[in-house]
Amino acid sequence: MEKVVIIGTGCAGLTAAIYTARANLSPLVLTGTLPGGLLTTTSTVENFPGFPEGIDGFELMTRLQKQAERFGARIQYGTVDAVHLGEKPIRLVIDGQSVATETLIIASGAGHRHLDVPGEHELEKKGVTYCATCDGALPMFRNQPVVVVGGGDSACEEATYLTRFASKVFLVHRRDSLRASRIMAERTLANPKIQPVWNSVVTEVLDVATGKVTGVRLKDVVSGAESVLPCTGVFVAIGHVPNTQLFQGVLDMNPAGYLRPVKGTAMNIPGVFTAGDCSDDVYRQAITAAGMGCSAAIDAERYLASLNA
């Protein structure tokens, strides 16, 4: 039987892995579908303490994984099909295999929010994408106009990154000011290749009939006017939804699906802890996720000690 299973290998999961591994608990760490978490899809991380020049998101996550493995964490590529949290020990089904564990740290992160407009789903990977770092350099976007949707730090980061490849980046936002941090917003709006399109929402991605993105249909939310903006790519950066569907009806969560611990990182079922973006709808930073991962590891360690006291 496992002492600690950690779901997720983002900043929260891998920090929990470092701490529980150093406590000789030999954690089993499950990667899920995106090993390294969302940070692997970002470009340079400029605000993680200790890296004055910034660090590539993928490199940061690779280093965290190496650090966890050095102390005995076992990283397993796989996804959790089912959880039986009511059983003692807790039982998980991982890619069809049953695994029993005394404690579970849920650091399953968050996924990209979708626009839910006609054409978005049909044209995914045919011009609609959720990751500029992953897809921005594709030939279909080079020297072409592209659209980024959103007004937060992610949208600004994506828009700035895309200026390397696209002829023009239209930043479509539903209000007339950015939600992004001041430094990101100022840098974005000062970039001559980025043109904000304020007070506008995408109502359709065109053109499903041709099988590729040729533009977006826009609606001005103030005047109600509709227009078409030609582009070859749509980069959706409108926030995230927590990956907690598996725990619905079993673990406490808020209406948006973020896990709600009862004390510290401890959930409403003994032995279950949570950390990172799946339980944080406020800060959602790499460093806060890492801090939460550390807290969850310490809480799990103390819980295990209390069982043997």
Contact footprint for ligand NAP (CB under 6 A): 47, 113, 115, 149-155, 157, 174-175, 179, 201, 237-240, 284-285
Question: How close are the terminal C-alpha atoms of the chain, in Å?
Answer: 19
In the complex with ligand NAP, which residue's Cβ is closer, 201 or 208?
A: 201
Catalytic status, residue 156: no
Contact between 107 and 13 under an 8 Å Cβ cutoff? The reply is: yes
Catalytic residue among 11, 56, 81, 131: 131
User: Could you tell me which residues come within 8 angstroms of residue 204 by beta carbon, excluding any fewer than 6 positions away?
Assistant: 117, 118, 119, 216, 217
Residue 238 or 269: the one with the smaller Cβ distance to ligand NAP is: 238
Q: Is 231 designated active site?
A: no
| Nearest-approach distance from CB 51 to ligand NAP, in angstroms | 12
User: How far, in Å, CA of 10 to CA of 246, rounded?
Assistant: 18
The pair of three-digit structure tokens given for residue 305, joined into one six-digit string:
């000690």
- Verify cis geometry, omega within 30 degrees of 0, for the bond prior to 89: yes
Amino acid symbol at 186: E
Report the nearest approach of ligand NAP to the CB of residue 295 (Å): 19
Residue of 56, 81, 95, 135 marked catalytic: 135
What minimum distance in Å lies between the beta carbon of 155 and ligand NAP?
Answer: 6
Rounded to whole angstroms, what are the CA distances from 143 to 53, 130, 170, 210, 217? 29, 19, 13, 20, 21
Which C-beta is closer to ligand NAP: that of 157 or that of 299? 157
Name the residue whose CB lies closest to ligand NAP: 152
Task: Say whether 135 is catalytic.
Answer: yes
Q: Closest CB to ligand NAP among 44 and 76?
A: 44
Task: Concatenate the DSSP letters of all residues of 192-223 into one string.
Answer: TTEEEETTEEEEEEE-GGGTS--EEEEEETTT
In the set 81, 95, 134, 176, the catalytic residue is 134
Shortest distance (Å) from residue 112 CB to ligand NAP: 8
Dig out the tokens for 20 from the structure.
């529980």
List the catalytic residues. 131, 134-135
